[in-house]
Structure 1
Amino acid sequence: MPIDEQRRVRWSDEQPRTRWVDQSAFLSRRPDLRLGGRSHKLDRAGGAAADRISVQHTVRTSTAEYTLLLNAPEWLGRRGVGEALRDAVAELRAVDLTYGPNRPDSLVSKLRRGEIGAGSYPPLADLVDRCAAMRAATDGWFDAWAVPGGFDPGGLLGGWAVERAAARLRAAGVHDYAVLCGADLTVRGHAAHGGPWRVAVHHPTDARRAPLVLEMTAGAVGTSGVTGRRGHVVDPHTGEPADQLVAATVVGPDLAVADAYATALYAAGPAGLAWFRNDSDYRALFAHRRR
């Protein structure tokens, strides 16, 4: 059940920041980033402009691998760019250490055991509030509390970490970047070639199909189930593994929200498409049934 008849995605706050590109454009211009299928990679299409500093860095935490691409202004200098990169990487590591639900000493684990309250730390309160908001937005199909042992924000934690790292980049003066984690990404501004980030989103199971191609200057792509692995998302209403879809991909302004929507859509199946109204900031790119 491909959701590929949509031709344009619009955000509600400013000018369109993501647009569909005709497939012939994909053939004539290489994408900067590829998502989907069983591999996710970067295409380095040309070097940085003379007044820009282009940096790529990959970091691993205990649960994920992140790749950061920075297209920074020359006035920031290599030392400033390095400091911005270190700050963003430190944030990714801090989220893993401080909020990872599999770490017994994390704030999430302490919250589950009742040792602290959700309001004890502002970032923890924000994380809990986001999970509650997504539970309401998805009719309970994203439910961080419907897991053994209690609260588990894993369905949006990775996207939340990426958005927090991206905020550190902006605070340091870097406003043109892409941050990837597996089949998920958030981007802002322009790529090294000076144009919008060109993102090829491949079909999750059919390598013969041409990818959907997006040109993005602000936004995120969140995916659930892209590897085809069964049982990693549970139907929160029954406790059984979700099995209707092979993958779900959602595009929108914020990666934590897009991730949560993708997880919920994967669990709900076709019924979840009702969440993506014409006036919604989020759109389903893929929602493919399992055969």
Structure 2
Amino acid sequence: MARKRYISTEISVDSRINTLAREYGDFAVLLYTWLIPHAGDDGALTGNPEEIAMIVIPGFRHHSVSDITEALSGMHELKLIFWDKENERIYFDSDTFYKYQPYVSLSKRRSSNPWEQKTAEEETKENKTAVIENYKREMAENGDNKRLLTENPASPSPSPSPSPSPTKEQRREEHGSAGSAPLCPFEKIKEIWNEVMGPRGRPEAGILTAKRKKLLKAIWNTPGWSDVGVWREFFEYVAQSDFLMARFPGLTFDWVIRQENWVKIREGNYHDGG
């Protein structure tokens, strides 16, 4: 276990860190900085969320393993770390890590980032897949040519059979099963948030990132939530909370649509008597 690690004031203006704070909350940023002194000289440490809870933040009992998991996912997505879930290891970006830990001897340093190695492996796998697919296609074409040569060239070509009508299963795959929720109107939900919260002085939502769409879609597909009217009522309900509106500076679009916060709001934890 490392005894010391350096940290720079540059972390305060790092665009990835600020994005982490906006999209995943202050806890994610705090956890990131606390992970640094627990990393070994190879810039790696355990990637097991339960072990991180016991080793890195033992006093934060109010944060669950799911909170840690979401924070790590955000760090991984922003390339602040590489989270190898299969082997339960976390690796810091080697360039950034050794920039601020110059005392680590060269013999103990990691020479490359796991995600760079992963990219090379994936590229090799894609190339192999392409070769196999080309081979299959050539074999199929050769088989068709042989079949045509063995047929009687003088015999009239059979008239093409009409294409069968799509089955019910195929139609369901193409258009969705009957009774399923309509597609999530990401832009409309964002507009409702801005209409409700903008005049009240809260930050308006801008770009609909992949992370935001994933969170919105998960809620939208919850029974009873595939209606923009329900979302407007929900945002108005949030605006009725004295705690969230007057005493909680972290109230943002991203914070509200995070699954655990959405559940707590619905349960009335931030309203009078909650």
Higher Rg of the two aligned structures: 2
- By the TM > 0.5 criterion, same fold? no
Greater share of helix: 2
Which of the pair is proportionally richer in strand? 1
- TM-score norm. by structure 2 comes to 0.26
Higher RCO structure (Cα 8 Å, ≥6 apart): 1
TM-score by length of 1: 0.25
